[in-house]
């Protein structure tokens, strides 16, 4: 008889019953509150008598309305609080907690059991029933150190004694098993999780966050944190846990629209979009580089990915010494009306010509143009033809525009109504002023750079230099797969989000395109824009079996391999097949596909490029669907995709169809591309060559490369 199991099951049963009770009570409160609120508001509304007949009556009416609004606000606040708490309890009912620590807080005092879950909740006595994994005391679990350990609360480090670190596998109110563990390699929950097959959505790693990952998740808030992690080290999972951690600690001041997440592609975006909701948090704003440019209205421009960063430096050097010419300007228009002529824009710039081109000049000119717009609309309000149009509006149009019916009694009142109409009709003129539509940024850039057109990257960068624009509201920007961005792209992001803190995650060995930024270049860019760059490393592979990890790590130099570790989880040896000709090559691929159909999980054929995907698709038939960029990963089956699309994803079985020397020669770029392709595999990897095998791979029938150290 396992008395510990019985004791923990009894505690779980009791806790679950309390959660059910809290859930039912909250649901009842919401129902009662909605009913009472409806009745109270009805009663109060009936008591309010709208009377603006005199000063006293108006004051009383306004006071009554203010009281009613105050009651509504109170109900709304309490409703939102209760709903948020109900959401947390509903989350916990799926799995109340995943761990417990026994802590001796002070010598001579009995130890305290702390149960840790994806959310926190208190009992009827306002005592912690379950603590949130992001709470300060939960840090003791992630430290993975029995004995003396510590956690930080309110800026102070508190030392405690960890007597027990226990993990649970729980389904609702049923305890499946428990583990008492200390160090990462003995982390039973982790090892159990690693045995599982691919899922169509990335899963949260809350219960299995390892020590080096926790250092990133709980890292102090700094202007820039650069994380270098090998393939399979959980970079993306850590990024999402970090976002959840930040939301928790800044929930009073931080909203999801202040956090930006940049992902490699749309498939990757759909792969990660459920993680934060399962943790009780909303998703941030998610972009690829292309969708970011599209959000700025630049979808029809070239992306600027390949722009020489020296051209951005040239813009920065030149902008303050240049002059704005009349040909650089546009009229301010709304539909068919020219609100401000080019000459009027030019006169506003001339008024402040003592200032160099830059944010101060633009701010002054915008203020001047806003005044000119107001004066133009005021002038138009006196036009009899326009006044007649306003007076001819039907009742529905009047209510839509004014929020009331109008019946002006004299010329002054008619002009006032006409002005109100014009301000409504042409309000976008002020928007055009703010957007700098009056300034031909493209023409200025082309003149400075001596080019016939301007890319999106150059356009955005120049606009920031001229106007100081960018997103001033953004507080955090997270960039995954940062090694795939060029120096130009990162310079634009650093400038555009100048006030935000950055988390940059990547793996230099997965830089699969020429011309992308190196880590030293990334450091220099952000050190220049944001100050000092702090760094962390993730050196343990959790995705792939030791055999697969050994193979892709054999593509690294010996010094790098010595720094890396892999979680011991024996699997299937990589299969490498060298085919003499096209027919035998296709036969082998078809045989691999047929075998994969009988396997659990998801198999991906990862081809070198899109052209090769199309050719292979024709050869393998309709039974192997091509993965499109806007599609979601299936949970199982077989798909074919190119290497850039596979970035950041993982699969149970990966087939690399063109492992020949022609596709993967002994070059740094080919080495990184092969490393990336192989490292997508969790349990199996098969490499098939048409002709001579890549020199980067061990010969058929030999061991899969030099070994790498594993955790002791």
Residue 52 has pLDDT above 80, yes or no: no
Confidence of residue 1 (pLDDT cuts 50, 70, 90): confident
As a residue count, the chain comes to 712
- pLDDT for the residue numbered 705: 37
Contact present, 504 and 225 (Cβ < 8 Å): yes
Q: Is 185 left (phi over 0), alpha (psi -120 to 50) or beta?
A: alpha
Global model pTM greater than 0.85: yes
Contact present, 654 and 647 (Cβ < 8 Å): no
pLDDT, tens only, 545-562: 889 999 999 999 888 887
Confidence of residue 265 (pLDDT cuts 50, 70, 90): confident
Q: Rounded to whole angstroms, how far apart are CA atoms 462 and 472?
A: 17
Nearest to 184 by CA among 700, 538, 548: 538
**47 or 498, greater pLDDT:** 498
| pLDDT mean over 4-19 | 97
CA pseudo-torsion sign 452, 455, 456, 459 = negative
pLDDT, tens only, 462-494: 999 999 999 999 999 999 999 999 999 999 999
**199 or 478, greater pLDDT:** 478
Confidence of residue 329 (pLDDT cuts 50, 70, 90): very high
- pLDDT for the residue numbered 704: 38
| pLDDT mean over 606-632 | 92
Which residue blocks in 48-123 are alpha helix, DSSP H? 55-94
Residue 643 has pLDDT above 90, yes or no: yes
Which residue blocks in 148-229 are alpha helix, DSSP H? 188-194, 211-217
Maximum Cα–Cα distance across the chain: 99
pLDDT, the chain, mean: 90
* DSSP structure class, residue 650: -
Residue 701 has pLDDT above 60, yes or no: no
Contact present, 493 and 340 (Cβ < 8 Å): no
- pLDDT for the residue numbered 702: 38
pLDDT, tens only, 387-415: 999 999 998 898 889 888 888 889 999 99
- pLDDT for the residue numbered 146: 86
Q: Rounded to whole angstroms, how far apart are CA atoms 419 and 382?
A: 8
Residue 426: CA atoms inside 13 Å, Cβ hemisphere, count?
25
Beta bridge partners of 441: none
Q: Rounded to whole angstroms, how far apart are CA atoms 230 and 120?
A: 33
Least-confidence region, from 178-187, 348-357, 582-591: 178-187
- pLDDT for the residue numbered 712: 30
Q: Is 556 left (phi over 0), alpha (psi -120 to 50) or beta?
A: beta
Pairing of strands 121-122, 128-132: antiparallel
Pairing of strands 99-104, 156-171: antiparallel
pLDDT, tens only, 293-314: 999 999 888 899 999 999 999 9
């Amino acid at each position: 008889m396992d008395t510990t199991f019985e004791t923990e099951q009894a505690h779980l049963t009791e806790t679950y019953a309390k959660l059910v009770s809290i859930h039912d009570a909250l649901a009842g409160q919401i129902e009662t509150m909605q009913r009472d609120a409806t009745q109270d508001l009805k009663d109060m509304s009936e008591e309010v008598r709208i009377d603006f007949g005199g000063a006293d009556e108006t004051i009383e009416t306004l006071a009554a309305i203010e009281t009613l609004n105050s009651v509504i606000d109170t109900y709304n606040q309490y409703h939102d609080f209760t709903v948020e708490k109900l959401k947390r309890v509903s989350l916990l009912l799926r799995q109340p907690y995943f761990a417990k620590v026994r802590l001796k807080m002070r010598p001579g005092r009995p130890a305290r059991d702390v149960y840790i879950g994806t959310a926190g909740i208190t009992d009827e006595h306002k005592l912690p029933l379950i603590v949130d994994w992001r709470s300060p005391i939960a840090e003791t679990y992630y430290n993975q150190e029995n004995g003396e350990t510590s956690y930080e609360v309110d800026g102070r480090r508190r030392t405690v004694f960890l007597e027990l670190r226990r993990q649970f596998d729980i389904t609702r109110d049923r305890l499946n098993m428990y583990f008492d563990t200390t160090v990462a390699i003995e982390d039973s929950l982790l090892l159990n999780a690693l045995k599982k097959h691919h899922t169509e959505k990335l899963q949260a790693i809350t219960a299995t966050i390892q020590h080096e990952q926790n250092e990133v998740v709980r890292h102090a808030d700094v202007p820039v944190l650069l994380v270098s992690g090998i393939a399979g080290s959980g970079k993306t999972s850590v990024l999402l846990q970090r976002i959840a951690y930040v939301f928790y600690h800044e929930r009073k001041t931080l909203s999801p629209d202040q956090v930006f997440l940049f992902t490699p592609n749309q498939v990757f975006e759909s792969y990660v979009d459920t993680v934060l909701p399962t943790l009780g948090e909303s998703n941030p704003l998610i972009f690829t580089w292309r969708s970011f440019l599209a959000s700025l209205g630049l979808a029809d421009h070239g992306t600027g990915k390949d722009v020489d960063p020296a051209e951005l430096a040239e813009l920065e050097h030149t902008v303050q010494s240049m002059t704005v010419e009349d040909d650089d300007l546009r009229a301010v228009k709304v539909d068919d009306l020219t609100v401000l002529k080019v000459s009027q824009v030019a006169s506003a710039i001339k008024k402040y010509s003592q200032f160099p081109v830059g944010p101060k000049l633009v701010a002054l000119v915008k203020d001047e143009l806003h005044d000119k717009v107001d004066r133009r609309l005021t002038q138009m309000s006196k036009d009899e033809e326009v006044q007649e149009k306003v007076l001819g509006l039907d009742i529905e149009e009047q209510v839509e525009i004014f929020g009331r019916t109008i019946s002006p009694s004299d010329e002054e009142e008619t002009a006032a109504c006409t002005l109100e109409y014009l301000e409504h009709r042409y309000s976008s003129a002020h928007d055009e002023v703010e957007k700098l539509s009056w300034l031909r940024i493209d023409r200025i850039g082309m003149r400075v750079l001596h080019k016939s057109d301007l890319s999106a990257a150059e356009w955005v960068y120049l606009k920031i230099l001229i106007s100081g624009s960018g997103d001033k509201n953004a507080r955090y920007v997270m960039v995954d797969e940062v090694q795939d961005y060029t120096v130009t792209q990162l310079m634009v992001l650093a400038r555009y989000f100048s006030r935000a803190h950055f988390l940059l995650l990547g793996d230099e060995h997965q830089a699969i395109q020429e011309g992308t930024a190196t880590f030293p270049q990334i450091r220099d860019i952000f050190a220049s824009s944001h100050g000092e760059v702090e760094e962390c490393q993730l050196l343990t592979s959790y995705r792939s079996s030791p055999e697969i990890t050994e193979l892709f790590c054999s593509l690294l130099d010996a010094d790098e391999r010595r720094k890396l570790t892999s979680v011991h989880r024996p699997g299937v040896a990589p299969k490498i097949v060298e085919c003499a000709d096209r027919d035998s090559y296709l036969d082998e691929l078809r045989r691999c596909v047929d075998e994969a159909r009988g396997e659990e999980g998801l198999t991906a054929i990862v081809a070198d490029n899109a052209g090769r995907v199309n050719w292979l698709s024709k050869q393998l038939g309709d039974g192997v669907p091509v993965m499109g960029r806007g599609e979601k990963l299936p949970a199982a089956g077989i798909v074919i995709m190119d290497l850039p699309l596979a970035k950041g994803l993982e699969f149970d079985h990966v087939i690399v169809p063109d492992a020949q020397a022609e596709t993967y020669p002994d070059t740094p770029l080919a080495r990184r591309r092969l490393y990336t392709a192989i490292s997508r595999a969790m349990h199996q990897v098969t490499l098939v060559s048409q002709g001579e095998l890549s020199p980067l791979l061990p010969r058929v029938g030999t061991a899969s490369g030099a070994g790498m150290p594993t955790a002791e």
